[in-house]
């Protein structure tokens, strides 16, 4: 059923995952009301009815009570996820508890501020065609620059070339192919959409089994977009919906942990995309290249030069 055929509101569940994210969570939850209403009296899409859920991936910390209090102030449900199983696992745990009548799930980091009418505009994009499984907004960095949130699926050629040469040769053809059209502000199909903020059709998310829990953090969104496409659904970039990624503070130690997690997840994705004994040499070479890149990035992080 398209947006023009439907008269009842779309039920959208907003799901965010906190890891001691009290300050960021306050701003995120405070932006939901304006995001779920049209920016003016002109209809911009279907009516939406929003419910909000906070998954706490660090309930063992001293901030758990504060996270619960912030959620309560914004009428959001609170779910403690013990043991920090990862971003995708926490989202999956919450989605499994949702009422069957929920139509779509807005998955977002807590360090995001939703722009006015952004949920309405994402829902309009999703509702415009039953073949669309996910819609992603234009994501701005805190300084107003556009974050590349809608990209091609990494392949052996463009993924490896981008990973190995993006820093030392920014204009290389592999990075250009991987990031093609990323800053073009027009609605278009993409290979995958950033998990920092995206709206997924609930039925499609369930059909996929949610995020692949083999990914602790990073690449779960790439994998979701890849599997969504294999099922015949579309990932659509909807830049009229705008959100701002404020960024989260991280220590040097956590930065190194995140670098390792990013490269481990990249290897997991490539292993899943190119399985089988015959492709083992290819996976080994790609894995070695990713390991070299991680070591280099870790050294730069310790020196403080990016």
Alpha helices, DSSP H, located in 1-114: 22-30, 32-35, 64-73, 87-95
Cα 230 to chain centroid, rounded = 18
- 121-131 mean pLDDT: 97
> What distances in angstroms separate CA 68 from CA 18, 71, 74, 76, 274, one per listed residue?
10, 5, 10, 9, 42
Q: Taking the chain, what is the end-to-end CA distance rounded to the nearest angstrom?
A: 47
Residue 283: the pLDDT is 54
Over residues 128-147, the pLDDT tens digits come to 999 999 999 999 999 999 88
Residue 254 confidence (pLDDT) above 60:
no
What is the reported pTM?
0.80
Write the DSSP symbol of residue 240. Answer: E
Residue 249: the pLDDT is 41
Distance CA(102)–CA(51), nearest Å, equals 9
φ, ψ of residue 245 to 5 degrees: the values are: -95, 110
Average pLDDT over the chain, rounded to an integer? 82
Residue 115: the pLDDT is 97
Q: What percent of the chain has pLDDT above 70?
A: 69
Encode 251-290: b = buried (16+ Cβ within 10 Å), e = exposed: eeeeebeebebbbbbbbbbbeebeeeeeeeeebeebbebb
């Amino acid at each position: 059923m398209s947006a023009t055929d439907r008269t009842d509101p779309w039920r959208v569940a907003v799901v965010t995952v906190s890891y001691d994210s009290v300050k960021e969570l306050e701003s995120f939850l405070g932006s939901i009301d304006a995001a779920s209403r049209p920016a003016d009296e002109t209809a911009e899409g279907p009516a939406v009815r929003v419910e909000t859920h906070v998954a706490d991936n660090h309930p063992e910390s001293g901030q758990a009570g504060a996270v619960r209090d912030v959620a309560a102030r914004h009428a959001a449900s609170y779910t403690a996820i013990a043991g920090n199983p990862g971003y995708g696992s926490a989202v999956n745990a919450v989605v499994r508890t949702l009422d069957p009548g929920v139509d779509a799930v807005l998955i977002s980091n807590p360090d995001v501020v939703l722009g006015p009418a952004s949920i309405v505009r994402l829902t309009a994009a999703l509702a415009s065609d039953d073949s669309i499984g996910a819609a992603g907004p234009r994501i701005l960095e805190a300084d107003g620059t556009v974050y590349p949130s809608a990209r091609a699926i990494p392949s052996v050629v463009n993924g490896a070339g981008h990973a190995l040469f993006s820093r030392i040769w920014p204009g290389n053809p592999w990075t250009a192919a991987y990031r093609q059209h990323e800053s073009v502000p027009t609605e278009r199909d993409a290979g995958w959409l950033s998990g920092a903020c995206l709206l997924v059709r609930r039925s499609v998310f369930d059909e996929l089994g949610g995020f692949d829990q083999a990914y602790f953090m990073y690449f779960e969104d790439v994998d979701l977009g890849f599997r969504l496409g294999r099922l015949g659904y579309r990932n659509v970039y909807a830049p009229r919906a705008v959100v701002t990624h404020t960024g989260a503070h991280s220590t040097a130690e956590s930065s190194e942990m995140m670098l390792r997690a990013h490269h481990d997840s990249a290897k997991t994705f490539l292993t899943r995309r190119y399985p089988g004994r015959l492709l083992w040499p290819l996976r080994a070479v790609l894995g070695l290249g990713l390991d070299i890149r991680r070591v280099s990035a870790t050294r730069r992080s310790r020196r403080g030069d990016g």
